[in-house]
């Protein structure tokens, strides 16, 4: 599992994957910066050489987003139905289309999200899954909702792969 290391969806997904024994990684911004300071060292992310993609120079941290989509088999985007995608999440969606990668947008606050995500993962069986979505500052409570939604799906996925 890979992700960019921002607070919110990214760090919650990485932490959960680590706890469940999945391999984690991904690209992060130069200097491992995130909205509350530094990405924790427990996440083995590789800083990109630049912050901005040449395809999205106006979007902060766009290179790490693009490279995580490029280097994954599929991307799961966790986004509440009530929230318009922030520029980074919108860029993630655009990158999945540009690279022709499968993607799923799921609302982590929905009771149906875990089932939807699990069915999608079982169908795709991605070797490398990128998980993305808004930061905690953009969507208060998204980290907890991400962990609650993903944990049962990832446990079931791990069980079926054993």
Q: Is 58 exposed, middle or buried (0-12, 13-18, 19+ CB in 10 A)?
A: exposed
What is the C-alpha to C-alpha distance for residues 17 and 68, in angstroms, rounded to an integer? 16
What is the C-alpha to C-alpha distance for residues 107 and 145, in angstroms, rounded to an integer? 9
Q: What is the pLDDT of residue 131?
A: 99
The values of phi and psi at residue 47, to 5°, are: -70, 135
Q: Would you say residue 162 has pLDDT above 80? A: no
Q: Would you say residue 64 has pLDDT above 80? A: yes
Mean pLDDT of the chain: 97
Q: What is the pLDDT of residue 57?
A: 96
Number of H helices, E strands in the chain: 5, 7
* Domain ranges across the chain: 9-161
For 9-161, CATH gives: 3.40.50.450
Over residues 63-86, mean pLDDT: 97
Q: What is the pLDDT of residue 54?
A: 97
Segment (H or E) for 106: strand 103-106
Give every CB contact of residue 140 below 8 A, 6+ residues apart in sequence: none
What is the C-alpha to C-alpha distance for residues 79 and 60, in angstroms, rounded to an integer? 19
Q: What is the pLDDT of residue 160?
A: 85
Give residue-wise pLDDT tens across range 120-134. Answer: 999 999 999 999 999
pTM over 0.95: yes
Q: Look-up: residue for tokens 């149906």?
A: 112
Q: Is 64 exposed, middle or buried (0-12, 13-18, 19+ CB in 10 A)?
A: buried
């Amino acid at each position: 599992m890979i992700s960019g290391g921002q607070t919110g969806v990214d760090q919650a997904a990485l932490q959960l994957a680590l706890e469940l024994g999945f391999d984690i990684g991904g690209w992060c911004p130069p200097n491992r910066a995130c909205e509350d300071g530094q990405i924790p060292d427990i996440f083995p992310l590789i800083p990109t050489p630049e912050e901005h993609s040449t395809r999205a120079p106006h979007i902060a941290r766009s290179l790490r987003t693009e490279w995580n989509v490029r280097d994954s088999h599929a991307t799961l985007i966790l986004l509440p139905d009530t929230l318009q995608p922030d520029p980074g999440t919108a860029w993630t969606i655009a990158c999945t289309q540009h690279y022709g990668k499968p993607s799923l947008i799921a609302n982590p606050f929905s009771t149906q999200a875990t089932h939807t995500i699990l069915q999608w993962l079982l169908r795709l069986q991605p070797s490398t899954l990128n998980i993305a979505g808004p930061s905690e500052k953009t969507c208060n409570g998204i980290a907890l909702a991400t962990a609650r939604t993903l944990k049962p799906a990832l446990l079931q996925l791990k069980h079926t792969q054993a």
